[in-house]
């Protein structure tokens, strides 16, 4: 080898002086050699484990680029080569991408499950069952006059199709919003002016992210803060106080506040201790929780059966509020056993389930077989067992360079 002087034994770590040409030593490091097909990509792979200083890494790159035929890898190229050589299916490749971009422990765990084949193995098993059911249907079509073919193949095929449709429906129901875990939960803090919304944001985020002032209308634009809540990624939105005003700047702030709250997954409506009124906002589809704030100022205590009475400034009730938001996130995303991590997965499973339902509704065997072919194709596209070239560029372009 140009840098290490010799090719080490396969899959054995070899300590070597790594040289730039025949003279200058760049570093002492470990060299590993993985001949095809026994490598991560299925191709010949060499690894150099060097000290991580910028000068060492820069010198190694410069030396490698002087070797004829070598070039820097494209984004996601190693993973794509592993996929194209059958080392990974598409869901496992997507799991690597999600693992690279995971910011919280829940995201990491979901990505790791997909890297280990959580969805891919299920999808392949479902596809195999569809193909077996289709074989029964088509045998009844093509060989109905043969003596060794059972007269009634429709009943066992129908039983398989029905069980498979129900299994996919159950997986979809259990993973109702699990693909949203990659983006996180959006929680809007809304309410009238000077109710303590910015104080609550700072208390939840555990830092001074928003300006706190006794003057109404201090918050004019939406302030966003990201934080990790029990492993769930959460985006907090501190919005302008909602009231009627003649100030055109404040009017725009109120408009933006209403719009962002309408897009949120959960709205925390912060109000005075005596106020228990829910906001009248027909466009809001999210769950709305009334948060009675400032209980430290008037001696108000949490009444029996009441959810949230807090003092964001002093900390009263904050532990219970955080725990409730964490439970909401767990229920929202479907817990740790969710099967789906991307909208692509959900759409293809829904299409496969629809095709299976159509197969059950048909009486003509030829049409049943066609619906089963569509279902098998949808399941095959999840793992890329069929041609999905149109999807690959979109998936791999977001990878780290060379990963």
- With a cut of 60, say whether residue 145 has pLDDT above it: no
pLDDT recorded at residue 213: 46
Name 288's bridge partners: 267
Interval 74-87 mean pLDDT: 91
Closest CA to 362 of 42, 128, 137, 169: 137
CA 305 to chain centre: 36
Question: Strand, coil or helix: what is 111?
Answer: helix
Judge whether 111 and 102 are in contact, CB under 8 Å: yes
Percentage of residues of the chain with pLDDT beyond 70: 82
Cis, bond preceding 37 (omega within 30 deg of 0)? yes
Strands 24-34 and 14-20: antiparallel
pLDDT recorded at residue 305: 45
- With a cut of 80, say whether residue 58 has pLDDT above it: yes
- Taking the C-alpha atoms of residue 371 and residue 352, their distance in angstroms, rounded to an integer, is 9
> How do residues 158-169 score in pLDDT, each as one tens digit?
899 999 999 999
State the pLDDT confidence band at 123, using cuts at 50, 70 and 90: very high
> How do residues 220-232 score in pLDDT, each as one tens digit?
567 888 888 888 8
pLDDT recorded at residue 388: 46
Pick the range with the lowest mean pLDDT from 8-22, 175-189, 249-263: 249-263
pLDDT recorded at residue 276: 66
pLDDT recorded at residue 299: 61
Q: Left (φ > 0), alpha (ψ -120 to 50) or beta: where does 163 sit?
A: alpha
> How do residues 306-330 score in pLDDT, each as one tens digit?
568 888 888 888 898 999 999 999 8
Give me the count of residues in the chain: 403
Pick the range with the lowest mean pLDDT from 14-18, 34-38, 263-267, 309-313: 309-313
Pick the range with the lowest mean pLDDT from 1-10, 73-82, 349-358, 386-395: 386-395
Number of DSSP helices (H) and strands (E) in the chain, helices first: 13, 8
State the pLDDT confidence band at 181, using cuts at 50, 70 and 90: confident
Q: What mean pLDDT, rounded, does the chain reach?
A: 82
Closest CA to 376 of 150, 164, 64: 164
- E strand residue ranges, 179-286: 185-190, 223-229, 232-238, 266-271
Q: Kind and range of the H or E element at 161? A: helix 154-174
What are phi and psi for residue 282, nearest 5 degrees?
-65, -20
- With a cut of 50, say whether residue 293 has pLDDT above it: yes
Judge whether 340 and 387 are in contact, CB under 8 Å: no
> How do residues 187-210 score in pLDDT, each as one tens digit?
999 888 888 888 888 888 776 655
pLDDT recorded at residue 313: 84
Q: Left (φ > 0), alpha (ψ -120 to 50) or beta: where does 237 sit?
A: beta
Judge whether 202 and 208 are in contact, CB under 8 Å: yes
Q: Left (φ > 0), alpha (ψ -120 to 50) or beta: where does 110 sit?
A: alpha
State the pLDDT confidence band at 345, using cuts at 50, 70 and 90: very high
pLDDT recorded at residue 321: 92
> How do residues 375-402 score in pLDDT, each as one tens digit?
999 999 998 866 545 445 544 555 555 6
pTM of the predicted protein model: 0.71
pLDDT recorded at residue 101: 85
- Taking the C-alpha atoms of residue 263 and residue 290, their distance in angstroms, rounded to an integer, is 18
3-state DSSP of 109-157: HHHHHHHCCHHHHHHHHHHHHHHHHHHHHHHHHHCCCCCCCCCCCHHHH
């Amino acid at each position: 080898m140009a840098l290490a002087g010799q090719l080490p034994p396969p899959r054995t770590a070899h300590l070597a002086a790594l040289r730039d040409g025949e003279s200058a030593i760049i570093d002492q490091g470990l060299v590993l050699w993985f001949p095809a097909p026994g490598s991560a990509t299925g191709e010949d792979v060499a690894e150099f484990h060097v000290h991580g200083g910028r000068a060492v890494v820069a010198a190694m790159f410069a030396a490698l680029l002087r070797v004829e035929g070598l070039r820097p890898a494209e984004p996601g190229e190693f993973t794509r080569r592993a996929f194209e050589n059958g080392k990974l299916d598409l869901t496992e490749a997507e799991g690597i991408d999600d693992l690279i971009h995971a910011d919280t422990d829940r995201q990491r765990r979901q990505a790791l499950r997909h890297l280990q084949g959580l969805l891919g193995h299920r999808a392949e098993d479902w596809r195999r069952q569809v193909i077996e059911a289709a074989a029964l249907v088509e045998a009844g079509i093509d060989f109905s006059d043969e003596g060794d073919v059972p007269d009634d193949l429709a009943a066992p095929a129908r039983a398989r199709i029905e069980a498979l449709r129900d299994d996919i429906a159950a997986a979809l129901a259990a993973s109702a919003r699990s693909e949203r875990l990659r983006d996180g939960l959006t929680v809007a803090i809304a309410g009238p002016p000077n109710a303590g919304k910015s104080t609550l944001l700072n208390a939840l985020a555990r830092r001074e992210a928003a300006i706190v002032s006794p003057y109404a209308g201090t918050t004019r634009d939406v302030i966003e803060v990201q934080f990790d809540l029990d492993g769930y990624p959460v985006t907090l939105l501190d919005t302008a106080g909602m009231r009627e005003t003649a100030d055109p700047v404040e009017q725009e702030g109120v408009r933006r506040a209403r719009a962002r709250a309408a897009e949120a997954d959960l709205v925390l409506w912060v109000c005075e201790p005596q106020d228990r009124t829910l906001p009248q906002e027909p466009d809001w589809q999210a769950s709305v929780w009334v948060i009675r704030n400032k209980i430290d100022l008037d001696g108000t205590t949490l009444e029996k059966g009441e959810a949230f009475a807090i003092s964001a400034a002093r900390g009263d009730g904050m532990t219970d509020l955080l725990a409730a938001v964490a439970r909401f996130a767990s229920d929202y995303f479907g817990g740790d056993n969710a099967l789906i991590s991307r909208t692509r997965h959900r759409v293809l499973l829904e299409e496969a389930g629809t095709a299976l339902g159509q197969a059950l509704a048909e009486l003509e065997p030829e049409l049943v077989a066609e619906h089963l072919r569509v279902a098998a194709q949808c399941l095959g596209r999840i793992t890329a067992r069929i041609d999905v070239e149109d999807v690959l560029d979109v998936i791999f372009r977001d990878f780290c360079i060379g990963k």
